[in-house]
Amino acid sequence: MAQSDCKWLKSATMTTPLNIYILDYPEAMQSGVYGVQDLFTIANYQSGLEVFSTQILNKSSLPVAGHDSIIFIPPCLAAEQPEFSDPDTLSLLKAWHDSGAILVAACAGVFWLANAGLLDGRQVTTHWLLCQRLADNYPRINAVSQRDMVVDEGSIVTAAGLCAFQDLTLHLIARFAGFDLAKKVADYCLLDFSGRLQAYYQRFYPCLSHGDRLMLKAQNFCADQIYSNISIVQIAEHCCLSQRTLLRRFKLATSYSPKQYLIQLRIEKAKQLMELEKISIEELSYKLGYTDTSNFIKIFKKVAGVTPAEFRSRFIST
């Protein structure tokens, strides 16, 4: 380990490892539970020291954690997201946080921290499919990032998708034992440690199972006319509905207004085209019905979290 990597170790003494407690709750993704433990074990191997001491916890083995501890909440693997409302666990999370422990969570596991009231006033992240739900259900959260893979707020650290526990673990290794060790672990495990963004993976999957046949007809019309500047009037006429009725039923079925829905469709199509074709931003903008390229870039960044050029650079060299 390089001299510059030893700041935390020297402050805690070389013989005192950082305690990592991995919370194995009933719906926890087991590859996340044991994968985190494996990555910290590999970090110890790579450093030649016991930098991290890991322990898997369940409700029958919950210790009192202090300032030299990290509580790691892995992702959830369940068909339906659980309530994350077990009062004993929530009380322990609060007590751990009050005692100075650092609490970290990935994907839906972030909802444990939200239910414990530990995210109020903070910037956080979770899986992009859950970001809006988190923001809506917990309005005291300052901001929910759909762009970042990891958001570090000091005593609370959150990460995005199911496999973002890897990014989160590497981040913690870098934070407490130095970048060089984290890079060694990433290289050894063939993991990406380039500061990737979850915005690159975000996709638009329209709801087609809402049961409203007329709104499904409207959605299909929007998809068929994705390269045209169709209006709400045209969509309403296609469905033989008034504009007011269309707006009400469309929002109820899809959670979007027709205008918002068309934007989502076009940005998703733009992503697909950039992945498959070598196409200029100007050409892409024109193809999708935007006469002003700068306006297209602004809308793309607002929806996707990155510019078209940033997104495209992952697939085709510019």
Please give the residue range of the domain that contains residue 80.
Answer: 3-201
Q: DSSP secondary-structure letter at 249?
A: H
Q: Is residue 318 part of a domain?
A: no
pLDDT digits (tens, 9 = 90+) for 1-32: 333 333 344 333 345 899 999 999 999 999 99
Q: Mark whether 89 and 16 lie in a shared domain.
A: yes
- Regarding whether 146 and 10 lie in a shared domain, the answer is yes
Two structure tokens written together for 59: 């409700």
Q: Looking at the domain assignment, is residue 208 inside a domain?
A: no
Are the beta carbons of 271 and 315 closer than 8 angstroms? no
> Are 297 and 308 a contacting pair, CB within 8 Å?
yes
* Residue 118 predicted with pLDDT over 90: yes
Residues 233, 196 share a domain: no
150 and 249 belong to one structural domain? no
pLDDT band at 64 (very low <50, low <70, confident <90, very high): low
Amino acid identity at 113: L
Residue 229 confidence (pLDDT): 87
- Please tell me the total count of domains within the chain: 2
Q: Which of 172, 201, 230 is the last residue of a domain?
A: 201
* Token output for 118: 């530990």
Are 100 and 183 contained in the same domain?
yes
Do 164 and 291 sit in the same domain of this protein? Answer: no
Residue 171 tokens read as: 């981040």
What integer pLDDT is reported at residue 9 of this predicted model? 40
Instruction: Count other Cβ atoms within 10 Å, centred on residue 174.
Output: 18
Q: Residue 215 and residue 219: Cα distance in Å, rounded? A: 6
Q: What is the CATH number of the domain that holds 178?
A: 3.40.50.880
* HSE (side-chain half, CA atoms, 13 Å) at 250: 24
Residues 245 and 117 in one domain: no
Single pTM value for the model: 0.81
Q: What CATH number corresponds to the domain at position 267? A: 1.10.10.60
45 and 124 co-located in one domain:
yes
Residue identified by tokens 């005692």 is 99
